[in-house]
Structure 1
Amino acid sequence: MFKKSSEDRFEVIYEQGVLNRCKILVDKKTGVNYLFSNEGNGGGLTVLVDREGKPIVSNVETQY
């Protein structure tokens, strides 16, 4: 298991589910939001986008 540190690049800002899990992660350097989903042994990661197809970006200057 990896040790969590204050230098971690990604932060989980939302989680749901137990067996079928979804998490939203924010890259603390770029602010880009990602959706991670897993079920059993499978999983996937994708960039979250808005209606125009542009990546959703959090303001990292004020949050991190």
Structure 2
Amino acid sequence: MAKDRFDIKEKETMNLLTETMVIVDKETGVNYLYVGRGYGGGLTPLLDADGKPIITKDGYKK
């Protein structure tokens, strides 16, 4: 996997142990939500109302 494949679109730190990020895959444009808390965390694709992945059009490599 390329080091520069993913881009952090938004980042919010809620307290010392909790942060959320929206991460974009630059090759596919798919948006992911990452939530980290303490020593744990989770990553999931962001979905629209129809259950399809949210795509950032300018996230694609040209």
| Matched-pair contact (CA < 8 Å) for 2:31–2:45 | yes
Mapped to 1, the partners of 2:49 and 2:60 lie a distance apart of 25
Where does structure 1 lack aligned partners over 5 or more consecutive residues?
A: 1-6
Equivalent pairs, count: 58
1:55 maps to: 53
Where does structure 2 lack aligned partners over 5 or more consecutive residues?
A: none
Q: TM-score of the superposition, structure 2-length normalised?
A: 0.82
| Matched-pair contact (CA < 8 Å) for 1:29–1:60 | no
Moved over 6 A (4+): 61-64
Instruction: Among all aligned residue pairs of Structure 1 and Structure 2, give the percentage whose two residues are the same amino acid.
Output: 43
Mapped to 2, the partners of 1:40 and 1:48 lie a distance apart of 22
**1:60 counterpart SS class:** helix
The alignment yields a C-alpha RMSD, in angstroms, of 2.1
Counterpart AA for 2:33: L
Q: TM-score of the superposition, structure 1-length normalised?
A: 0.80
Mapped to 1, the partners of 2:23 and 2:59 lie a distance apart of 16
Q: Which has the higher contact order (CA 8 A, sep 6+)?
A: 2
